[in-house]
Amino acid sequence: MEDLVQYLANKIVYRLFASDRSKIESYRLSEYVKVQMAETFFAPGESLMLSNDASIPQILSHCGLKGVVQLESLESILGESIFLSKISSLISQHKFRTYRIESLLEHLRMHLIDGSINLSQVYEFWRKNGGIPNLYVEKLDEKIRLTQINRNRQSQIGNYLWAPMPLWPLRISIRNLSLPVNFMVSQGLEMAPIDKKMIALNNFDFENLYRVNYDQNTWERIHQSMVESPKFFTQRSRAQLINDFCYFYSLGEIGDNADKIRRNFLELIRNEAESFDLCEFYAFWCIAGNKRKISLKKDSKKRIMQFMPKVYSSLSNRDNFACFEPPLLGNDTASNTANALCQTVFGSECL
């Protein structure tokens, strides 16, 4: 229910600030960062299926985060009016009785996408399986190849079981390109013909729940585009692209030119810091977290969880979002909070 409430709350925020796009962008950026913090530090690899006796920290690290992204993915398929009508019907039916996830699944059961994919089964899979899946996008002349790359990753299934991360049904979207399918349900998918000059930005603005790695040439073109056409990118999409690059860089999955591309991105952040609010929260994999693993031992986990209230609080005031905020401006800035977290987890400041 918390995910539905947050999904509807987002709608209200967007309408309240419809005349001030900068406030909406800051809000969407902070919501993206919250999801990444939960999935990286507070509930890594965990599913959205909580036990009836879930603690407050468990609820705060699981609810109103990636589940909202999943609901927005459903909306992108059904359309806003249809999806909101289903939610309205669901609320009316449960005025005087307990809401269960099965109730929403029942409203989705009749929808078949791409001919045979049941939307109810897709949403149920998303909720029961933990983590964020990874997608590799390779541009080959007039062809684009998509490959889901979840190898060697563990994730939670349901409340307790941990197992190798399975293939996810991914909602596929490419910037400025109409696709013949909505979902990728196999490990690989190829599409052609694609304009040679096009930068095939997949899952732009984090509209769906997965990370994207690109071939080296595409990463270089993304950096060039950020330099030459900054208005093409939202705050959220800039954060997403930097975060995805640094994440895969830390895993050693970029390629031979990885260090050069990394230097270019970090130089861009330093030179254009005003365009990269909350930078420490999404670029840390390029420096502090580079080739480092986050300890999941009980004592380490306890220290990390103590940061959760302060992290979420620091993401609620856009006046404190500045990248590289100097310490003399106070300890409540997002920059200082991020650096304190990096010091605890990695032993150094984020950037």
Q: Based on the domain organization, do 124 and 16 belong to the same domain?
A: yes
In a domain, 193, yes or no: no
**Same domain membership, residue 110 and residue 220:** no
The last residue of a domain, from among 128, 149, 183: 128
What's the pLDDT score for residue 305? 95
Q: 222 with 346, same domain?
A: yes
> Does 276 fall in a domain?
yes
My answer on whether 120 and 232 are in the same domain is no
Is residue 226 within 8 A of residue 158, CB to CB? The reply is no
Regarding whether 219 and 124 lie in a shared domain, the answer is no
Same domain, 111 and 219: no
DSSP, collapsed to helix, strand or coil, labels residue 311 as helix
> What domain count does the chain have?
2
Report pTM.
0.95
- 101 and 225 share a domain? no
281-319 per-position pLDDT tens digit: 999 999 999 999 998 888 999 999 999 999 999 999 999
Instruction: Work out the number of other CB atoms within 10 angstroms of the CB of residue 51.
Output: 9
pLDDT of residue 342: 96
Q: Is residue 88 part of a domain?
A: yes
Q: Which residues of 137-164 are buried (b: 16+ CB within 10 A; e: fewer)?
A: bbbeeeebebbbbbeeeebbbeeeeeee
Structural domain harbouring 27: 2-128
Residues of the chain with pLDDT under 50: none
| Domain finish residue from 93, 110, 128 | 128
Contacts of 290 (CB under 8 A, 6+ apart): 249, 250
Instruction: Decide: 87 and 4 in contact? Cβ < 8 Å.
Output: yes
Identify whether 281 is part of a domain: yes
115 and 229 together in one domain: no
Query: What is the per-residue pLDDT for 298?
Result: 87
Q: End of a domain among 128, 150, 174?
A: 128
Report if residue 158 sits inside a domain.
no
Does residue 317 belong to any structural domain of this protein? Answer: yes
- Write down the pLDDT at residue 236: 97
> What's the CATH code of the domain at 91?
1.10.390
Cβ-contact 36, 281 below 8 angstroms: yes
Please check whether residue 54 lies inside any domain of the structure: yes
Q: What angle do CA 339, 340, 342 make, to 5 degrees?
A: 60
The predicted structure's pLDDT at residue 331:
62
Q: CA 37 to CA 44: how far, in whole Å?
A: 9
Q: Is residue 187 part of a domain?
A: no
